[in-house]
Structure 1
Amino acid sequence: MLEGWGRMRKSVSLISMLLAFVAMAGEGHAAISYQRLDGAPGERGLVIKGVFEFSDDPMKLVDEYRQYQADYISFDSPGGNVVTAISFGRAIRALNARTLQIRAMECASACAFAFAGGVERFAEPGSIGVHRVSLSDDVPMDNKLAVSSVQSLTGDIIGYLTDMGVSPNLLQLSLSIDSTDIRYLTAAEMRDWNINTPENMPSPQESGSPPADAAPQVSAKPADMPSADPSAPEEGAASPPGDLTTEAIDFANRYNDEWSKDSASALAFMKSVYADEVSFFGTSVDKDVVLKDKAAFAQHWPERIYSVKPGSLTASCAGKCEMSGVVEWFARNRDTGRTSSGMAEFSFVWNTASLQIESETGKVLATDKGAKAPDRLIDQWIGLDDICRGSLDREGVKTLQACKRRDELGPLLDRLDWCYGREGEAGMDWEWHKCDANSRRYAE
């Protein structure tokens, strides 16, 4: 199984190359069809294309999969009928088939449930999209029947995800996203909710050196997972001399904290941390180009909070450090009255000799339309506060990290006029709110 999963990881690169030669044109809302991807021996892929409709028969998938003797199943689908997608997922599980998804092809909405049918699953960050499941507008029903139908469908989805070994958090997240919007899953979410199946991934020692034509392999330790070495530092802890991975993680946190300060301070920091030449979102540019971009953004959004999502940072260091993570933000322009809120992935290549960024890229994962409050950052603070105050291990590293990060995030929220508690209130009644004359203020 490990050998097969290793081949599956290499197939990410293989599919990307094949897409340059295989026409993937589809009819926007056509019935499900199938696309065969012919690769090297043992690397045959079968792509399920189109919108899942009630009339689609998963037995056609079974026949196509067996005739082609595919090694994995991928998707190019914006979603469709949830019940049909689940039936396809169960057919995939009955076939004992693997599922694989790359960003170059879409798997959104109901398609995410079909993907979950894979006995082994791998999806690139940002390749699986979710939003709220809705009943068809074409089927008239009264309110009582609508409620009953939603409850029944929700139960079916939870039962299916449980059977597939996927956390019901996937459904919980999808219900929080409006059906007119889309939210793409991060690497951390797919790992934590077992959408990807990392327990089947071979270690570098098991898989050996990757072949020359394989996708680049990065040995990155998730920052929120315990280290194999009990003495090794965790995210946010002081790093011993030579611990470049921890230094890289500290740098990524500091970068976003500095960017959250007033524009003059933030831009001064940016000037100090970029190399003279930077690969900036895939284009090699002079440092001045990067700084002008940052300055223009700061002028447009003079008040900002950017905070790395706890546990999302990973880093791999060998002379230079490659780091990536998820950052959540809230920004405001008092003059225009506009606000911006959302979540994005970011990646840096950081030169540990010069302590400068040589490469930066990223992708917006979600935007919160019409957001007027920094809800994402408040949720971060609440989660950190729960760990800080609720942990039985009061002197534990993770507890101390959570307390430290909470007390760094609080003043940033305060600066945007969001306060925690009011004077005279009992501590148990404190809540985050728009600051007023009676609000408690964080000490800077």
Structure 2
Amino acid sequence: MLLVSSVAIQAYRDLSKPGAWDFWRETYVAASMNSAVISDVDIDGSGRGRRALAISGTIGSASASWFRDRLSEARLAPGDAVLLSSQGGALNQAAIMGEVIRTHGLVTAVATSDASGKLRPSACASACVLIYAGGQTRYGIAGSRLGVHRFTTSAPVSDPLAEAQRIQGMVLGYMTKMGVSSGIVEAMSQTSDIRWLSPKEALALNLVTKPIDRP
């Protein structure tokens, strides 16, 4: 009885931490993102098919761990693709997911795909853009959209200005590491609403590294 009680008390304390319930729910009940493995996707029209993991949904507080598991199951090789379709979510989780993509040598594209591997344009906004930036090559699919905005935190902080500067510094450091122009942070800072980058802007910022004319 004492052992059970001590475990229950520790579990309660753990779940009392900010965001812990969301993490627990996503880990053990229902993930906030969905995935599908596509065995043969021709992203650039070269006729070279590649394996892809398509992910969609909200980036939650446990999405990085979920993503690692899905990658392991998908057995992607360097040069294979991650297809993205998301309106954003947790910034720190997105950065980790982007790092994982880069470590594995994967490419990224904003798109969905049917079972046959035919691509459809999609949207990737807010924190999703950080995942996209992790691609070794970042394909720009015709008709797909990349949206940015100023990042803020909903958690209570003693110094909001310092926290905003910390977040901006983190995003700048991450994007620079991924080879994206520092101008992306200026584009983000211009509005708290989603600002959809034109294909020309995304290319100029080196966010898109390989534009593809066909969807």
TM-score, structure 2 normalization: 0.69
| Alignment-mate amino acid for residue 146 of structure 2 | I
Q: Does 1:109 align with 2:110?
A: no
Larger Rg belongs to: 1
1:395-432 deviation digits (Å, cap 9, x = unpaired)? xxxxxxxxxxxxxxxxxxxxxxxxxxxxxxxxxxxxxx
Q: Cα–Cα, structure 1 residues 78 and 30, in superposed 2: closer, same or farther, change >3 Å? A: farther
Gaps of 5+ in 2: 1-29, 42-47, 112-119
- Kindly report the root-mean-square deviation, in angstroms, between the aligned alpha carbons of the 2 structures: 2.6
Q: Quote the residue 1:171 is aligned against.
A: 185
- Aligned partner (choices 206, 210, 215) of residue 194 of structure 1: 206
Give secondary structure in 2 for the equivalent of 1:100.
strand
**Alpha-carbon distance between aligned partners in 1 of 2:61 and 2:201, rounded to the nearest angstrom:** 29
Q: Cα–Cα, structure 1 residues 114 and 124, in superposed 2: closer, same or farther, change >3 Å? A: same
**Alpha-carbon distance between aligned partners in 1 of 2:37 and 2:189, rounded to the nearest angstrom:** 33
Q: Once the 2 structures are TM-superposed, how far is the Cα of residue 30 of structure 1 from its aligned partner?
A: 5.8
| Alignment-mate amino acid for residue 35 of structure 1 | A
Q: Once the 2 structures are TM-superposed, how far is the Cα of residue 43 of structure 1 from its aligned partner?
A: 2.6
1:288-321 deviation digits (Å, cap 9, x = unpaired)? xxxxxxxxxxxxxxxxxxxxxxxxxxxxxxxxxx
Q: Quote the residue 1:183 is aligned against.
A: 195
- Aligned partner (choices 40, 49, 52) of residue 45 of structure 1: 52
**Alpha-carbon distance between aligned partners in 2 of 1:215 and 1:91, rounded to the nearest angstrom:** 28
**How many residues were matched structurally?**
168
Q: Quote the residue 1:33 is aligned against.
A: 34
Percent identity between matched residues is: 28
8 Å CA contact 1:62, 1:95 repeated in 2: no
8 Å CA contact 1:30, 1:51 repeated in 2: no
Q: Does 1:129 align with 2:135?
A: no
**Alpha-carbon distance between aligned partners in 2 of 1:159 and 1:186, rounded to the nearest angstrom:** 23
8 Å CA contact 1:108, 1:128 repeated in 2: yes
Gaps of 5+ in 1: 1-28, 202-213, 218-444
Q: Cα–Cα, structure 1 residues 39 and 183, in superposed 2: closer, same or farther, change >3 Å? A: same
**Alpha-carbon distance between aligned partners in 2 of 1:193 and 1:127, rounded to the nearest angstrom:** 14
**Alpha-carbon distance between aligned partners in 1 of 2:57 and 2:31, rounded to the nearest angstrom:** 6
Q: Does 1:140 align with 2:152?
A: no
Q: Cα–Cα, structure 1 residues 216 and 151, in superposed 2: closer, same or farther, change >3 Å? A: closer
Aligned pairs for 1:360-379 within 5 A: none
| Alignment-mate amino acid for residue 49 of structure 1 | S
**Alpha-carbon distance between aligned partners in 2 of 1:216 and 1:47, rounded to the nearest angstrom:** 19
- Aligned partner (choices 58, 62, 79) of residue 55 of structure 1: 62
- Aligned partner (choices 46, 52, 70) of residue 64 of structure 1: 70
Give secondary structure in 2 for the equivalent of 1:39.
strand
TM-score, structure 1 normalization: 0.35
